[in-house]
Amino acid sequence: MNIDIDKIVRLLSEFDAINSISGYEKPVAACLSEKMNGITDEQYTDTLGNCVCLRRGNESGKKIMISAHMDEIGFLVCDITSEGYVTMLPVGMHNPAMVVNQTFSIHTRNNGTIYGVLAGGKPVHYAKEQNTNTSIGDLRIDVGCTCPEEVRLLGIRVGDPMNIEKQSRMLGKYVFSGKAVDNRSGIVAMILAMELLRGEKLHSSIYCCGTVQEEIGIKGARVLSRQIQPDIALAIDVGFAVEKDDVNPNSTRCYMGKGASIQMYDWNPSTFLGNIVPKLISDALVDAAKKAGVMYQEHVNLNGGTDAAEISLSNRGVLTGGISIPERYIHTTVGTVDVRDVGSAAEMLAQFIRDMDNGDST
Give CA–CA dist 21/212, Å, rounded.
Answer: 9
- Per-residue pLDDT, 126: 62
Cα R_g (the chain), whole angstroms? 21
The per-residue pLDDT for 124 is: 64
- Which pLDDT value is given to residue 5? 97
Bond from prior residue into 110 cis (ω within 30 degrees of 0): no
CA–CA separation, 163 and 25 (whole Å): 13
Collapsed DSSP state (helix, strand, coil) of residue 303 = coil
d(CA 133, CA 266): 30
Domains in the chain, ordered, with CATH?
A: 5-72+179-358 (3.40.630.10), 75-164 (2.40.30.40)
- The answer to whether 339 touches 253, Cβ cutoff 8 Å, is no
What per-residue confidence (pLDDT) applies to 123? 65
What is the tens place of the pLDDT at every residue in 243-293? 888 888 899 999 999 999 999 999 989 888 899 999 999 999 999 999 999
Low-confidence ranges of the chain (pLDDT < 50): 361-362
Q: What is the pLDDT of residue 270?
A: 87
